[in-house]
Amino acid sequence: MAPPLLVSGGRFLGLKQRHILFMALGGSVGAGLFLGSGGAIQQAGTSVLLAYVLCGIVVFLIGRAAAELALSDPEGRTLNAFVGRYLGARMEFLVGWSYWLIWTLVCISEITAAGIFVRHWIPEVPQWAVAAVLGGVLLAVGSRAVATFGEMEFWLAIIKIWAIVALIGCGLVTILGHVGPAGPRASFGHLWDAGGVLPHGMAGFAAILPMALFAFGGTEIIALTAAETDNAVRVLPRVINGIVGRIIVFYVGSLAVIMAIVPWGEADATHSPFVLAFQHMGLPTAGEAINAVMALAALSSCNAGLYATSRTLASLAESGMASARLRERSAAGVPAMAFAASFATVLAGVVLNYFLPDRLFGYAIQGVAFLLIFVWASIMVAHLAYRRSMDGARGQVAALPGAPVSNWLAIMFLLAIGLDIVWGGHLYVPFLLDAAWLAVLVLLHGRLSARRAGASLV
């Protein structure tokens, strides 16, 4: 494999369009679709399809805003860097460390899930040991050139995509050709003949919106790749234009086929709807293979997450907001110290997840939702500030459609989702934990600023 390309300014390139596309797919299409969508179907019925379409449109706007900001930055840096450029150093500090925490918690949950899936075949091996072995694989790949990382993510993601395509293809044959045990009963009529499109009314639809929105989490990672992508100005707009549409097709297409074969009332949160659908089609072996796909899906999401955490941590270090050692790069251009620190944190989290009560770790994972809303809203506000600046006046690359109206629509939608989670979902503890996290970051940034001011006077 060719080494990454070193261009002027010391930037290492090597990610191709297919790498970026499948990296975003890998971060977004994970165990949440293959396993978690069962609970979504049970809770919302057919309206889950509308929820994914609506949330996909909102995330598309956020992704376009992030891509435009990334391409407007001559340094080609990370999310927190261009948020700080237009909203100030404090916001850069808050967004950077919050984004790092988001992906750290996601990585911990995903590598833990991968360990659970693998123990399906080897139950005698401790879960933490499986997670450590899988983590070792990610460490070996992530510490090499960025193109190696991109190649691994491409193949991990493509396995997931083929699993979805296989389900949709087999499902359509079953439904349209009335083939197999489920053939005589399978029908797209199941989507509306058991309570209509909104079987639980608007309340059920509103309840499922947060889950649908956060299913698309990870698409913004495209903006982080600008500094390591060959011809980013051409590649990033193409990828962001297609990525959300593809994700909507995968989510909506697969779940529509599943509900046409397995009436939505039979779905539940404890079983993968993909496995149920294959079992109804008389393909239990294919259903068993989904367990392997779920393990790879979790590994893929963790792989993308380690990319995000290491680049964000390195960016914070370059801005003087983390230890200077974390900005060091290897000969291949990888922020090696930042990657090692992020990897160590993830493994420590896996161990803590094993020893600590489920409720405490559950609160932390639920708290990701509020932090992601904060980061996404910050991107949209930073984009508004960018458009009002001299940089925005000089012209935009990959301009966000409908701005500034689309900015405000996305921001209001995110705030509504946040309120829905707190009061509708009664997630007061995670909300308070996130508020405390942001308050601590504000205090830490204040101390950092005071220390810098003192040093400059000496």
pLDDT at 450: 84
Task: Look over the chain and give the mean of its residue pLDDT values, rounded to a whole number.
Answer: 80
* Window from 52-56, 87-91, 227-231 with minimum mean pLDDT: 227-231
What is the average per-residue pLDDT within 117-132? 75
Q: Quote the CA–CA distance of 198 and 248 in Å, as a whole number.
A: 19
- Which string of DSSP letters, residue by residue, matches 173-194? HHHHH--STTTTT--GGGGTTT
Q: Quote the CA–CA distance of 157 and 163 in Å, as a whole number.
A: 10
Q: Is the per-residue pLDDT at 152 higher than 70? A: yes
Residue 169's pLDDT band (cuts 50, 70, 90) = very high
**DSSP conformation class of 45:** T
Q: Which residue is associated with the tokens 């401790």?
A: 126
Angle subtended by helix axes 273-280 and 146-177, to nearest 10: 40
**pLDDT tens, residue by residue, 331-352:** 767 788 898 898 888 888 777 7
Q: Quote the CA–CA distance of 6 and 333 in Å, as a whole number.
A: 8
The pTM for the full model equals: 0.85
Residue 12's pLDDT band (cuts 50, 70, 90) = very low
Q: Quote the CA–CA distance of 112 and 209 in Å, as a whole number.
A: 26
Q: Is the per-residue pLDDT at 34 higher than 60? A: yes
Q: Is the per-residue pLDDT at 9 higher than 60? A: no
Percent of the chain with pLDDT over 90: 19
Q: Quote the CA–CA distance of 399 and 237 in Å, as a whole number.
A: 9
453 or 315, higher pLDDT: 315
Number of Cβ within 10 Å of residue 205's Cβ equals 22
Q: Is the per-residue pLDDT at 13 higher than 90? A: no
Q: Is the per-residue pLDDT at 175 higher than 70? A: yes
Residue 440's pLDDT band (cuts 50, 70, 90) = very high
Q: Quote the CA–CA distance of 304 and 221 in Å, as a whole number.
A: 8
Cβ contact 298:285 at 8 Å: no
Residue 2's pLDDT band (cuts 50, 70, 90) = very low
**DSSP conformation class of 15:** B
What is the average per-residue pLDDT within 19-46? 72
Residue 6's pLDDT band (cuts 50, 70, 90) = very low
Residue 27's pLDDT band (cuts 50, 70, 90) = low
**pLDDT tens, residue by residue, 110-121:** 887 777 777 777
Q: Quote the CA–CA distance of 171 and 156 in Å, as a whole number.
A: 23
Measure Cα distances from 152 to 122, 144, 158, 290 in Å. 24, 11, 10, 20
What is the average per-residue pLDDT within 433-447? 94
Q: Is the per-residue pLDDT at 14 higher than 60? A: no
Q: Is the per-residue pLDDT at 1 higher than 50? A: no
Phi, psi of 6 (to 5 degrees): -100, 120
pLDDT at 30: 66
Long-range contacts of 83-87 (CB under 8 A, 24+ apart): 83/378, 83/379, 83/382, 84/319, 85/382, 86/382, 86/385, 86/386, 86/389, 87/378, 87/381, 87/382, 87/385
* Window from 57-66, 201-210, 386-395, 406-415 with minimum mean pLDDT: 386-395
Beta-sheet pairing, 11-13 with 5-7:
antiparallel
Q: Is the per-residue pLDDT at 206 higher than 70? A: yes
C-alpha dihedral (154, 157, 162, 163), degrees to nearest 10: 160
Question: Which residues make Cβ contacts (< 8 Å) with residue 284, sequence separation at least 6?
Answer: 278
Q: Quote the CA–CA distance of 28 and 219 in Å, as a whole number.
A: 6
Residue 8's pLDDT band (cuts 50, 70, 90) = very low
What is the set of domains in the chain, with CATH numbers? 17-383+397-446 (1.20.1740.10)
pLDDT at 15: 63
List beta partners, residue 6: 12
* Window from 103-107, 122-126, 168-172, 185-189 with minimum mean pLDDT: 122-126
**pLDDT tens, residue by residue, 218-271:** 777 777 766 566 666 677 777 777 777 777 788 889 999 999 998 887 877 677
